[in-house]
Protein backbone atom coordinates (compact mmCIF):
# COMPACT_ATOMS: atom_id res chain seq x y z
CA UNK A 1 0.00 0.00 0.00
CA UNK A 2 1.28 3.44 -0.96
CA UNK A 3 -1.04 6.40 -0.46
CA UNK A 4 0.53 9.67 -1.52
CA UNK A 5 -1.36 12.56 0.09
CA UNK A 6 1.07 15.30 -0.89
CA UNK A 7 -1.54 16.98 -3.13
CA UNK A 8 -4.08 17.33 -0.32
CA UNK A 9 -4.09 21.08 0.15
CA UNK A 10 -6.47 23.74 1.33
CA UNK A 11 -6.25 27.50 1.69
CA UNK A 12 -7.49 28.71 5.09
CA UNK A 13 -9.40 31.95 4.62
CA UNK A 14 -12.34 31.99 7.04
CA UNK A 15 -11.02 34.21 9.80
CA UNK A 16 -8.25 35.97 11.66
CA UNK A 17 -7.11 36.23 15.26
CA UNK A 18 -5.69 39.66 15.96
CA UNK A 19 -4.48 41.24 19.17
CA UNK A 20 -7.58 43.45 19.13
CA UNK A 21 -9.68 40.27 19.50
CA UNK A 22 -7.95 39.15 22.70
CA UNK A 23 -9.03 39.22 26.32
CA UNK A 24 -6.84 39.15 29.40
CA UNK A 25 -8.54 35.87 30.30
CA UNK A 26 -8.36 33.13 27.63
CA UNK A 27 -11.51 31.50 28.97
CA UNK A 28 -13.45 34.52 27.72
CA UNK A 29 -12.05 33.94 24.24
CA UNK A 30 -12.77 30.20 24.47
CA UNK A 31 -16.37 30.95 25.41
CA UNK A 32 -16.68 33.35 22.46
CA UNK A 33 -15.21 30.83 20.02
CA UNK A 34 -17.26 27.93 21.36
CA UNK A 35 -20.48 29.93 21.10
CA UNK A 36 -19.69 30.92 17.51
CA UNK A 37 -18.81 27.36 16.52
CA UNK A 38 -21.90 25.94 18.22
CA UNK A 39 -24.07 28.20 16.06
CA UNK A 40 -22.25 27.29 12.85
CA UNK A 41 -24.02 25.02 10.37
CA UNK A 42 -22.39 21.66 9.79
CA UNK A 43 -20.86 21.23 13.26
CA UNK A 44 -22.44 18.16 14.86
CA UNK A 45 -20.70 18.20 18.24
CA UNK A 46 -18.87 21.40 19.04
CA UNK A 47 -18.07 19.92 22.46
CA UNK A 48 -16.13 16.96 21.04
CA UNK A 49 -12.55 17.17 22.23
CA UNK A 50 -9.46 15.02 22.03
CA UNK A 51 -7.82 14.19 25.35
CA UNK A 52 -4.26 12.91 25.50
CA UNK A 53 -2.96 11.04 28.54
CA UNK A 54 0.21 9.13 29.43
CA UNK A 55 -0.51 5.45 30.07
CA UNK A 56 1.16 2.92 32.34
CA UNK A 57 3.17 1.75 29.31
CA UNK A 58 4.75 5.20 29.01
CA UNK A 59 3.04 5.99 25.70
CA UNK A 60 0.72 8.93 25.09
CA UNK A 61 -2.77 8.03 23.93
CA UNK A 62 -5.44 10.31 22.49
CA UNK A 63 -9.16 9.72 22.15
CA UNK A 64 -12.27 11.84 21.64
CA UNK A 65 -14.56 12.57 24.59
CA UNK A 66 -17.33 15.11 25.13
CA UNK A 67 -16.91 18.31 27.11
CA UNK A 68 -19.88 18.63 29.45
CA UNK A 69 -19.15 21.86 31.32
CA UNK A 70 -16.67 24.70 31.36
CA UNK A 71 -16.30 27.84 33.41
CA UNK A 72 -13.55 29.92 35.01
CA UNK A 73 -12.48 26.85 37.02
CA UNK A 74 -11.83 24.50 34.13
CA UNK A 75 -13.16 21.92 31.69
CA UNK A 76 -15.25 18.92 32.78
CA UNK A 77 -15.91 15.54 31.19
CA UNK A 78 -17.20 12.25 32.58
CA UNK A 79 -15.90 8.70 32.34
CA UNK A 80 -15.35 5.39 34.10
CA UNK A 81 -12.49 5.90 36.56
CA UNK A 82 -11.44 2.27 35.99
CA UNK A 83 -11.09 2.78 32.23
CA UNK A 84 -7.71 3.07 30.58
CA UNK A 85 -7.91 6.86 30.45
CA UNK A 86 -9.29 7.06 33.98
CA UNK A 87 -6.40 5.04 35.38
CA UNK A 88 -3.91 7.02 33.29
CA UNK A 89 -5.21 10.33 34.66
CA UNK A 90 -5.23 9.12 38.25
CA UNK A 91 -1.63 7.98 37.81
CA UNK A 92 -0.49 11.09 35.92
CA UNK A 93 -2.89 14.07 36.00
CA UNK A 94 -0.99 16.06 33.36
CA UNK A 95 -3.23 16.01 30.29
CA UNK A 96 -3.81 17.85 27.03
CA UNK A 97 -7.20 18.47 25.47
CA UNK A 98 -7.79 19.92 22.04
CA UNK A 99 -10.72 21.05 19.92
CA UNK A 100 -10.66 21.03 16.12
CA UNK A 101 -13.43 22.92 14.36
CA UNK A 102 -12.68 22.60 10.62
CA UNK A 103 -15.82 24.48 9.54
CA UNK A 104 -14.32 27.68 10.95
CA UNK A 105 -10.67 26.59 10.58
CA UNK A 106 -9.92 26.82 14.29
CA UNK A 107 -8.13 24.76 16.92
CA UNK A 108 -7.75 25.19 20.67
CA UNK A 109 -5.06 23.26 22.55
CA UNK A 110 -5.20 23.18 26.35
CA UNK A 111 -2.64 21.73 28.74
CA UNK A 112 -3.76 21.26 32.32
CA UNK A 113 -4.01 19.24 35.49
CA UNK A 114 -6.95 16.86 35.88
CA UNK A 115 -8.61 15.85 39.13
CA UNK A 116 -11.82 14.12 40.13
CA UNK A 117 -14.97 16.21 40.11
CA UNK A 118 -16.85 16.26 43.41
CA UNK A 119 -19.12 13.29 44.10
CA UNK A 120 -22.09 15.64 44.43
CA UNK A 121 -21.59 17.18 40.99
CA UNK A 122 -20.89 13.81 39.38
CA UNK A 123 -24.06 12.36 40.90
CA UNK A 124 -26.16 15.31 39.77
CA UNK A 125 -24.90 14.98 36.21
CA UNK A 126 -25.34 11.20 36.23
CA UNK A 127 -29.02 11.51 37.10
CA UNK A 128 -29.52 14.10 34.35
CA UNK A 129 -28.58 11.49 31.73
CA UNK A 130 -31.12 9.29 29.93
CA UNK A 131 -31.88 6.09 31.88
CA UNK A 132 -30.28 3.90 29.20
CA UNK A 133 -27.06 5.90 29.48
CA UNK A 134 -27.17 5.53 33.25
CA UNK A 135 -27.54 1.77 32.87
CA UNK A 136 -24.75 1.72 30.31
CA UNK A 137 -22.31 3.03 32.91
CA UNK A 138 -23.06 -0.11 34.95
CA UNK A 139 -23.27 -2.53 32.00
CA UNK A 140 -19.79 -1.87 30.59
CA UNK A 141 -16.57 -2.56 32.47
CA UNK A 142 -14.87 0.01 30.26
CA UNK A 143 -11.54 -0.93 28.65
CA UNK A 144 -11.66 -4.54 29.93
CA UNK A 145 -11.59 -7.46 27.48
CA UNK A 146 -14.94 -9.10 26.70
CA UNK A 147 -15.73 -12.22 24.70
CA UNK A 148 -18.58 -10.75 22.64
CA UNK A 149 -20.95 -7.82 22.26
CA UNK A 150 -23.76 -10.06 23.46
CA UNK A 151 -22.33 -9.81 26.97
CA UNK A 152 -23.01 -6.07 26.97
CA UNK A 153 -26.52 -6.61 25.66
CA UNK A 154 -27.27 -9.20 28.33
CA UNK A 155 -25.81 -7.00 31.05
CA UNK A 156 -28.09 -4.19 29.95
CA UNK A 157 -31.19 -6.42 29.98
CA UNK A 158 -30.34 -7.68 33.46
CA UNK A 159 -29.91 -4.13 34.73
CA UNK A 160 -33.15 -2.96 33.11
CA UNK A 161 -34.99 -5.66 35.04
CA UNK A 162 -33.14 -4.93 38.27
CA UNK A 163 -33.84 -1.20 38.24
CA UNK A 164 -37.26 -1.25 36.62
CA UNK A 165 -39.28 1.62 38.10
CA UNK A 166 -36.41 2.39 40.52
CA UNK A 167 -33.78 5.10 40.68
CA UNK A 168 -30.44 3.97 39.28
CA UNK A 169 -27.57 4.76 41.65
CA UNK A 170 -24.42 6.31 40.25
CA UNK A 171 -21.64 3.71 40.01
CA UNK A 172 -18.86 4.49 42.52
CA UNK A 173 -16.31 4.02 39.72
CA UNK A 174 -17.94 6.61 37.43
CA UNK A 175 -17.73 10.38 37.56
CA UNK A 176 -16.23 13.58 36.29
CA UNK A 177 -12.77 14.96 35.83
CA UNK A 178 -12.12 18.69 35.86
CA UNK A 179 -9.10 19.93 33.93
CA UNK A 180 -7.59 23.11 35.35
CA UNK A 181 -5.79 24.82 32.46
CA UNK A 182 -2.14 25.84 32.66
CA UNK A 183 -1.86 26.98 29.05
CA UNK A 184 -4.31 27.58 26.21
CA UNK A 185 -3.35 28.05 22.58
CA UNK A 186 -5.76 29.45 20.00
CA UNK A 187 -5.10 28.61 16.36
CA UNK A 188 -6.86 30.30 13.46
CA UNK A 189 -6.14 29.15 9.93
CA UNK A 190 -4.85 31.85 7.59
CA UNK A 191 -3.79 31.92 3.91
CA UNK A 192 -0.32 30.82 2.82
CA UNK A 193 0.08 28.69 5.96
CA UNK A 194 0.76 31.88 7.95
CA UNK A 195 -1.73 30.91 10.62
CA UNK A 196 -2.52 32.93 13.74
CA UNK A 197 -1.34 31.30 16.98
CA UNK A 198 -1.95 33.01 20.31
CA UNK A 199 -0.56 31.25 23.37
CA UNK A 200 -1.77 32.00 26.90
CA UNK A 201 0.11 30.75 29.94
CA UNK A 202 -0.89 31.01 33.59
CA UNK A 203 1.56 32.77 35.90
CA UNK A 204 2.46 31.83 39.47
CA UNK A 205 0.00 34.52 40.58
CA UNK A 206 -2.82 32.83 38.61
CA UNK A 207 -2.91 35.61 36.05
CA UNK A 208 -2.50 35.01 32.33
CA UNK A 209 0.24 36.16 29.95
CA UNK A 210 -0.11 35.79 26.22
CA UNK A 211 2.17 35.92 23.20
CA UNK A 212 1.98 35.33 19.46
CA UNK A 213 3.73 32.23 18.10
CA UNK A 214 5.05 31.75 14.58
CA UNK A 215 2.94 29.25 12.64
- Are 99 and 107 in contact by the 8 Å Cβ rule? The answer is yes
> Which residues have CB under 8 Å from 20's CB, separation 6+?
none
Using DSSP's 3-state secondary structure scheme, residue 161 falls into helix
CA distances to 18, 28, 76, 161, 212 from 198, in Å: 9, 14, 23, 53, 5
CA distance 94 to 122: 21
Single out the catalytic residue among 9, 63, 129, 193. Answer: 193
Query: Does the active-site annotation cover 193?
Result: yes
C-alpha span between 137 and 67 (Å, rounded):
17
Residues with a known catalytic role = 193
Amino acid sequence: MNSDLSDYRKSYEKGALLESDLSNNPLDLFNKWFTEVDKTDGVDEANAMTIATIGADGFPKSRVVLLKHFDENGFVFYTNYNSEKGKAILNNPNVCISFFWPNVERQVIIKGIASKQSEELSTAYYHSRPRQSQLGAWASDQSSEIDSREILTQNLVTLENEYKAKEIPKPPHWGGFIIIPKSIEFWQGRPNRLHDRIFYEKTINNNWNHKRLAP
